[in-house]
Structures are given as C-alpha cells and as structure tokens.
Structure 1
Amino acid sequence: MSAHAHVATVDYAALDDNALVALVRSGQREAFRHIMQRCNQRLFRVARAVLGEDAEAEDVLQESYMRAYNKLDSFRGDSSLATWLTTIVLNEARGRLRKRHTMVDLEQVDAAPDDSHQVIRFPSKFGSEDPLVSAARSQIRGLLEHAIDELPPAFRTVYMMRDVEECSVEETATMLAIKPETVKTRLHRARRLLRASLHGQLANTMSEAFPFMGQRCARVTAAVMARLEDAQPT
C-alpha cells in the first residue's frame, strides 16, 4: 500500500484535536484542513467581532491559519486547540485595527458609567420559540447581526465569545487578556444595548448568527490549503 493510499484512509473526523495536530506535525497536511473546518465557525465570529466586516475577517482567518500552521510545534496543549487558535486570530485582528488607527480606548469604555436601573438578562436562548419568530428566522437573524455590529468593539467581542460561542468567563478573560470582572461588565452592557435595540425578542437566533459554513467555509479552507501547497519546497 502506498503512503498516499494510507493517508487517504484516515478517518480525520473521528480524531480529537491533539491527534490531528500530531498528524500535521508528521507531515499530513490534510489533517490541517479538518482542524480548520472544526474551528472555522468560532474563529470567524471572533475575527468579525473585532473587525466588524466580513471580507477582512476572512482575510484574518487565512493569515492566522498560516501563522498557526507554521508555529504548530509551539502548541503544547496547555489550553485547547480552539483557544490557542483564537488567541492567534485575536492578535491578527487587533493588528489590523492598529493599522487602521481606530483602536477604542478600552479603559475609557470600561470606566463609562452604567446608567441602567432594573436590568433584565438578555438570554442566549429561549426554552421555546413563537412559530412566527421561527418562520421569520432569516430576517430576524439579519436584524440581530446588524444590532451586534452596532455594539462598541470591546463589547461586541466579549458578547460574541460569551453568548454566541458560549466561552466561559475565565476562557474569555484569558484570550482577551482582561480581568474576569471586566468580561462580566462588558457582557452586561452589551446585553443591555442589544435589549434596547431589539426589545428583547430575538435572543433565540444566537446560535445561527454569522454562519461560517458552506461556501464561505470552503473558500477559506481551500485558500489556506493552496497556500500551504505553494509554500512547500519542490
């Protein structure tokens, strides 16, 4: 049996992240495609939360994956692979913001007074949903995505990671290099702003916001695989 035939029989989908990393390190580039497909949704959402724009978020993903592939030997498994990749994406996205010279003064944002009184939590999901809401899901999701885009960047990133991707407070704080209490404060304010914008009716569409499946996922994955192929010595 040829080496190529052996690689083709690997059931990548059944492997955990560490096993995929080990295969990539051993020279099986195809395993990296499955890492990307497994992490694309979260990483796109994080990049888009920082940048607020689809095309640049996709570009950040490509660059981040190239960086990750080239420094995969530095992944020690101290955190999950998704967390490690998220940190790379955040660094790349923030670098783009610095080039734009539009970084938000986060200390000023966090010091802003919270003028809310009685605050009702903006939930991640409803236990049940109105049939009319379900029938209009795509239109509602569009409204929700627009409302999230309108959040201040510092709040938008925390909201995307906590309520959309359901990262823990501790994981979010570590990845963003902020205090857990700051995560809680920004999430609280983001929910309040969204509630005011959406009248508290649209939280059940959280899990479908900013999809990164189908053609978009395939486009980024194929582009990175092509770049890796080009980068190999002949």
Structure 2
Amino acid sequence: MLARDVPALTDIELARRIGLRDPAAVRWMTTRNNQRLFRTAWSILGNRAEAEDAVQSGYVRAFAAIGSFAGQSSLDTWLTRIVINEALGRARAARRRRARLDADSITDLDAYRERLMNGSIEPAAPDASLAIKQMRAMLEAAITRLPGEFRTVFVMRDVEGMSVEEVAGALDIPPGTVKTRLHRARRRLRDLLAPDLRASLVGAFPFAGEHCATLTERVVALLCEAPDG
C-alpha cells in the first residue's frame, strides 16, 4: 500500500494493515498518535524517559493484539487505553521501588535520572524567545504539582484537546467525573499561574521533530522488520 493511500483507510482497515505489518500503516498510526500518547503517559508517570518507554511498549502490545480491535471505539481511543494501562503499571512498579528504596534510605535513582534527562530535551526553535521558554517551564512545573488523577485529565483535555467523551472513554470513567476533575485541576492552576501564561499550553511538553520520528522508526523496525516466529 502506498503511504498516500493510508489516511483514507477506516479504522478497521487500518488495523488490518497494521496486523499485516504494513510499514506505511504503522508509520501513519504512530506519527498521528505519538504526541498525545506521550503527553498522556507523562501525565501519569511524570518522567519523560519513562513516558517514552511506556508509549513504545504500549505500541508493541497494542499492535500485537491488533486482531482483537473490533471498532467499538476509535482506534486512537483503543490505543490510548492500552498506553494508559502500560503507564499505570509502570507507576505502580515505581511506587513499589520507591517504597523499598525509602525503607533503606537509598536515593531514588529515577528522580536523579529525570534531572539528567532535563538537559537532553529537544531545544526550542531558534526564534523562540527566552520569555516563552520560561513560561512553558513554569506551566510544566505547575501541572506537575497537580494530583495525578487531575493531571491526567487536564493534559488529555486541555493540553491535547481531546473531547470529554474521548477522555472518559480512554480512562473508563464517567464524563461527569472528567468534568469534575478538569474543573478542580483548572482551579488549582489558576492559583499558581497568571492568566497570560495559560496561552503557552499549546507548546508545552514537546514531543515532535527528531524524538517523534525516532520513536516511529523504532516501532516500525520492531513490528515490520523483525522476522516472524
């Protein structure tokens, strides 16, 4: 199948092509979802490296089970649920590790790695001003301080732009719960941020360019180039 034909496929047809390990279909699906899935995983894990690993693992798990996709929800929502479960599993494992480390008074290596990773984030565009960079950093810091359940809903709804129904479907919670958590998250952020900072949300938590392309190619290599068996 030619790459230009893939966007016209229905979700069922796209799932079938992914099941056949069509590189064009896999590349289209990952490129279309990378940023939203990364942001969602980060909202749960609070760690960029762990979030990227969770997305990649979620892709592999989802595409291995692509034959079970029945079209009852959109393929994007189905994939988001799998990545959420992957991230939640990692978060639980991290809490267990931290409990063991705390018991022995050992430094949490995940926190140290996150500090190191902050120095390797893709730089902003050359014409981005220092003020914009600072505002985005303030936004990320404020959102990080939200309780986990509020942070995930806020990132999916306000940062990624998913609808209330899409968020509810992905998290398997009622739409009313999504609205309540979103309201509480926004109210907490208003206490932390000046109104003019909220306009910077669109560019927060970047996962594009080289990072996005690299993740896509890794998934294509794993699923389309590895020998069967």
Alpha-carbon distance change, 190 to 10 in structure 1, aligned in 2, over 3 angstroms: closer
143, 146, 163: which one pairs with 1:168?
Answer: 163
Greater Cα radius of gyration, structure 1 or 2: 1
Q: 2:186: which partner in 1?
A: 191
Work out the CA distance in 1 between the residues paired with 2:150 and 2:58.
23
Aligned mates of 1:17, 1:150 — CA distance in 2: 39
Q: Which residue of 1 aligns with 2:50?
A: 56
Is residue 223 of structure 1 aligned with residue 221 of structure 2?
no
Give 2:203's aligned residue: 208
The two structures, once aligned, show a CA RMSD in angstroms of: 2.2
1:82 equivalent among 68, 76, 79: 76
2:87 aligned residue: 93
Q: Say whether the 8 Å CA contact 2:16–2:67 is kept in structure 1.
A: no
Residue type of the alignment partner of 1:153: G
Q: 1:45, 1:33 → 2: CA distance?
A: 19
Q: Percent of aligned pairs with the same residue?
A: 48
**1:69 aligned residue (63, 66, 70):** 63
Flag the 1:201–1:227 CA change in 2: closer, same or farther, 3 A. same
Match of 1:11 in 2: 4
Over residues 74-99 of structure 1, what are the superposed CA-to-partner deviations in whole Å (9 max), with x where a residue is unaligned?
A: 11222111111100010000111111
Indicate if the aligned counterparts of 1:12 and 1:31 stay in contact, CA closer than 8 A: no
Matches within 5 A, 1:96-115: 96-101=90-95
What are structure 2's unaligned runs of at least 5 residues? Answer: 97-127
Q: Is the 8 A contact 2:6 2:25 kept in 1?
A: no
Instruction: Using the TM superposition, name which of 55-64 and 146-155 deviates more.
Output: 146-155
Q: Report the Cα distance in structure 2 between the residues aligned to 1:95 and 1:61, rounded to whole angstroms.
A: 12
Q: Across the two proteins, how many residue pairs are aligned to each other?
A: 197
TM superposition score normalised by structure 1: 0.76
Does 1:47 find its partner at 2:41? yes
Partners of 2:208 and 2:142 lie apart in 1 by: 21
Cα drift, residue 153 of structure 1: 0.7
Distance 2:223 2:7 in 1: 24
- Structure 1 residue ranges without an equivalent (≥5): 1-6, 103-132
Looking at structure 2, the residues matched to 14 and 91 of structure 1 have their Cα atoms a distance apart, in angstroms, of 27
Structure 1 residues 22 and 135 mapped into 2: Cα distance closer, same or farther (>3 Å)? same
Q: Give 1:158's aligned residue.
A: 153
2:134 alignment counterpart = 139
Of Structure 1 and Structure 2, which has the larger fraction of its residues in helix? 2
State the distance in 2 between where 1:164 and 1:94 align: 20
Deviation at 1:42, TM superposition (A): 0.6
Distance 2:172 2:209 in 1: 32
Instruction: Give distance in 2, aligned partners of 1:225 and 1:202.
Output: 38
